Amino acid sequence: MIDIKSYGMADMSALFKQLGEPSFRAKQVFRWLHRGVTSFEQMSDLSKALREKLAAQCTISSLQVERKQVSAIDGTIKYLWRLPDGNCIETVLMRYKHGNTVCISCQVGCRMGCAFCASTLGGKIRDLTPAEMLDQVLFTQLDSGEQISNIVLMGIGEPLDNFDTVMRFLELVNSPDGLNIGMRHISLSTCGLAEKIDLLAQQHLQLTLSVSLHAPDDETRSKIMPVNRAFNVGRLMKACHDYFKVTGRRISFEYAMIDGVNDSDAQADMLARMVKGIAAHVNLIPLNHVEESPLKPSRRVKQFQQRLEEQGITVTVRRRLGSDIDASCGQLRRKAMNEQQESGKEADT
């Protein structure tokens, strides 16, 4: 069966040509799909014969709400979706003054192994499809009734570890016949797969690249982020410099503040030296404590911020939206998995 919602316009046109249908039909179907219909039956301007022909060959993906949590503090909504194969993924809808932002997942789990992150605890189960990524935006929009203007690829998974899918997803959401979300309204966050950053630069997209740096020196970074053993800080910064040179887009560096690990003045100075010259912006993230991890939130966020600012670096401290609803990466999925295991155990005994 064809996963038709993962198709870009080129594939869609080819399919309709092969079916012997006029090319405008491809656009019609594309538009229906991107409005979130879940069956060909709903495509009321297609003939019954064509709808049946499509239904015989194609499936239309969809997501089921497994859990939904709404923050009483700031209205942030966290969705835990159930995929048809039983796996779960998370999406977060955040409301900002400048519009609604949706934070989406790109993999079921993650294989990057960062020491502070809940998403990677059970490893990677599988990559998502372009349709499953798109569905997170579509179904969040449909369920919440809110128009979404910004997308951040900062949920579960490593986007550059699912590169081709993510590129297709970007094409889909960017399409004028679909959600038509501009590249400048999209951010992609990576743990630092330098070779893939090089590849991304060649796509010349106007999206915002966020790099999860979390430490300016190899010794610390390798301890908390295994990816650093494959691409060390020097290699990563080279990729970032080249990315900036090629795209002209400023890079945002994510830095989760961990007590006694990466929050010293010396590390702030090193960080300042590193990011100078690439119009970078540093985003300090107060660490969200993950139960399974011994790492604690830093108490030096303010001092660290000041020290960077004194050296001319633009710094923001991430606001904690949805702190009452397990809104950070992988926490809700983790909780649901643990609960499922618990009830499984009870059933066994």
User: Residues interacting with ligand SAH, by CB under 6 A?
Assistant: 114, 116-117, 154, 158, 189-191, 212, 254, 256, 285, 287-288, 290, 328-329
- H/E segment holding residue 318: none
Name the active-site residue from 88, 110, 240, 329.
329
State the CB neighbour count (10 A cutoff) for residue 209.
23
Q: Which two tokens stand for residue 288?
A: 């969200």
Residues forming beta bridges with residue 189, ordered by sequence position: 210
- Work out how close the CB of 146 gets to ligand SAH at its nearest, in angstroms, rounded to a whole number: 22
- Work out how close the CB of 152 gets to ligand SAH at its nearest, in angstroms, rounded to a whole number: 8
Q: Which residue has the tokens 């670096």?
A: 313
The region that residue 149 occupies, defined by phi over 0 for left and psi between -120 and 50 for alpha, beta otherwise, is: alpha
Q: Of the candidates 15, 136, 131, which has an alpha carbon nearest to the alpha carbon of residue 81?
A: 136
Q: Of the candidates 187, 171, 93, which has an alpha carbon nearest to the alpha carbon of residue 134?
A: 171
Q: Which two tokens stand for residue 14?
A: 């080819």
State the CB neighbour count (10 A cutoff) for residue 126.
14
Q: How many Å apart are CA 328 and CA 331, to the nearest integer? A: 6
Pick 144 or 190: Cβ nearer ligand SAH: 190
Contact 95, 344 (CB under 8 A): no
Pick 114 or 186: Cβ nearer ligand SAH: 114
- Work out how close the CB of 159 gets to ligand SAH at its nearest, in angstroms, rounded to a whole number: 6
Pick 166 or 268: Cβ nearer ligand SAH: 166
Q: Which two tokens stand for residue 256?
A: 């989760």
Pick 194 or 285: Cβ nearer ligand SAH: 285
Pick 180 or 316: Cβ nearer ligand SAH: 316
Q: Which two tokens stand for residue 34?
A: 């991107």
Is 90 annotated as catalytic?
yes
Name the active-site residue from 90, 132, 158, 254.
90
- Work out how close the CB of 85 gets to ligand SAH at its nearest, in angstroms, rounded to a whole number: 22
**Residues counted in the chain:** 349
Contact 8, 171 (CB under 8 A): yes
- Work out how close the CB of 249 gets to ligand SAH at its nearest, in angstroms, rounded to a whole number: 16
Pick 130 or 155: Cβ nearer ligand SAH: 155
Contact 332, 288 (CB under 8 A): no
Q: How many Å apart are CA 96 and CA 76, to the nearest integer? A: 10
- Work out how close the CB of 189 gets to ligand SAH at its nearest, in angstroms, rounded to a whole number: 4
Q: Which residue has the tokens 């935006």?
A: 137
Q: Which residue has the tokens 């909504």?
A: 77
Which residue numbers are catalytic? 90, 329
